[in-house]
């Protein structure tokens, strides 16, 4: 039989790009169901977790080049510019780059426990919503750092927050919550799943909760977060960093099943997901498919005031491209966080479109 050479080569290339099939899955005849590396810049994407702490246009311009919109998140974090300065930068960026940059507000714990504090915070957040904020962030200082006048840690389920969270729910204003730390934080260094955590907590023992049994346990941190959500079933909630359940797709599934108002972002936890891929790629892949409506892409890229613009832009592009390869192809990959190799997830286009764009559009009402 005479074979069309061009068709034959096309079929070979198509098969290589399609990659390995899962057990019980028929061989794919084409790559139409999956995006390629060449599709990267042309597909609409939103990075829902960045910190643009510098008004320079470099971050926004790189996002536009790579097909991204950005959600920059203000944080009550002492190593960042002041909350007022973060707000100023965010407002400048959403003014100069509408439809590219969006922002999430936050609030200070200063004044906690005083009369009228919650009312004042609600008035501030209402003003920020009018200025363009699409969400509000609470950080891990609540539960791990901030203490009341009696030197007790203030936890996220404290009744003092109830008027704020009830108000946000009434406004249908999403709350972004970063409670606790990665599970590795409560493990000995040698048992941590990724090298980045091993290095960080080795160099910052003051933040390594395994060394501080006097502090709330991981289970307590997750418990009070869940208690807050149980009190506020109408509050849209995004669990930052895979809701600090990054170590287990089973635990993430349980969380999402329990709280239908919640979604999770992937920011700064891709390594932990890849570590699970090394052990059971198909389980991770199936989790992403099963919960495709509840997962949002994010990175935690931080454009600091002292950053070199060109270097940061190159790093943002590198990170975005590496994540795209992991999620869209079944290439054999190696990353600095892990020893050994693993295969990308080769998620279907329909799943990628939701994780990278449609879920964020819907959840944050981003156009």
Nearest to 316 by CA among 67, 103, 13: 67
Cα separation of 317 and 347, whole Å? 21
Kindly give the pairing relationship between strand 301-303 and strand 262-265. unpaired
Average pLDDT by stretches of 10, the chain with 367 residues: 31 32 35 89 98 97 98 96 98 98 98 97 98 98 96 98 98 97 97 95 94 97 98 98 98 98 98 97 98 98 98 98 98 97 98 98 94
Burial class of residue 72, CB neighbours in 10 A (0-12, 13-18, 19+): buried
Q: 296-319 burial, b if ≥16 CB within 10 A, otherwise e? A: bbbbbbbbeeebeeeebbeebbee
Whether residue 235 contacts residue 169, with contact meaning beta carbons closer than 8 Å, is answered with yes
Q: What is the predicted pLDDT for the residue at 22? A: 38
Give all domains of the chain, ordered by start, each with its CATH number: 40-364 (3.20.20.140)
In degrees to the nearest 10, what's the CA dihedral of 86, 73, 47, 318?
60
Q: How many CB atoms are located within 10 Å of the residue 4 CB?
A: 9
Whether residue 363 contacts residue 135, with contact meaning beta carbons closer than 8 Å, is answered with no
pTM of the model: 0.91
141's tokens: 């200082």
Cα separation of 365 and 367, whole Å? 6
Q: What is the predicted pLDDT for the residue at 32? A: 66
Helix 270-290 to helix 309-328 angle (10° resolution) is: 40
């Amino acid at each position: 039989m005479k074979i069309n050479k061009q068709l034959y080569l096309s079929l070979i290339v198509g098969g290589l790009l399609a990659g390995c099939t899962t057990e019980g899955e028929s061989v794919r005849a084409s790559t139409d169901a999956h995006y390629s590396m060449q599709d990267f810049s042309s597909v609409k994407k939103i990075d829902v977790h960045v910190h643009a702490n510098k008004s320079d246009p470099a971050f926004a311009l790189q996002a536009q080049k790579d097909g991204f919109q950005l959600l920059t998140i203000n944080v009550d974090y002492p190593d960042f510019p002041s909350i007022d300065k973060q707000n100023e930068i965010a407002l400048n960026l959403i003014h100069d780059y509408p439809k590219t940059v969006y922002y999430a507000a936050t609030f200070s714990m200063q004044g906690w426990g005083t009369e009228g504090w919650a009312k004042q915070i609600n008035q501030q957040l209402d003003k920020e919503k009018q200025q363009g904020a699409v969400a509000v962030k609470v950080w891990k200082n609540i539960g791990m750092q901030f203490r009341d006048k009696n030197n007790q840690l203030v936890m996220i389920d404290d009744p003092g927050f109830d008027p704020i969270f009830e108000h946000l729910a009434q406004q249908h204003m999403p709350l972004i919550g970063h409670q606790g730390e990665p599970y590795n934080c409560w493990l000995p260094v040698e048992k941590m799943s990724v090298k980045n955590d091993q290095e960080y907590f080795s160099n910052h023992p003051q933040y390594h909760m395994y060394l501080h049994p006097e502090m709330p346990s991981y289970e307590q941190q997750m418990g009070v977060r869940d208690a807050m959500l149980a009190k506020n079933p109408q509050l849209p909630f995004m669990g930052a960093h895979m809701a600090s359940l990054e170590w287990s797709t089973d635990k993430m599934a349980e969380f999402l099943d329990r709280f239908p108002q919640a979604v999770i972002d992937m920011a700064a936890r891709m390594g932990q997901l890849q570590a699970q891929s090394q052990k059971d790629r198909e389980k991770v892949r199936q989790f992403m498919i099963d919960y495709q409506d509840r997962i949002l892409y994010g990175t935690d890229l931080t454009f600091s005031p002292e950053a070199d613009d060109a270097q940061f832009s190159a790093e943002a592009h590198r990170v975005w491209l590496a994540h795209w390869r992991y999620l869209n192809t079944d290439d054999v990959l190696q990353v600095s966080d892990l020893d050994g190799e693993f295969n990308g997830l080769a998620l279907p286009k329909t799943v990628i479109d939701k994780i990278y764009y449609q879920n964020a559009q819907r959840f944050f009402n981003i156009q």
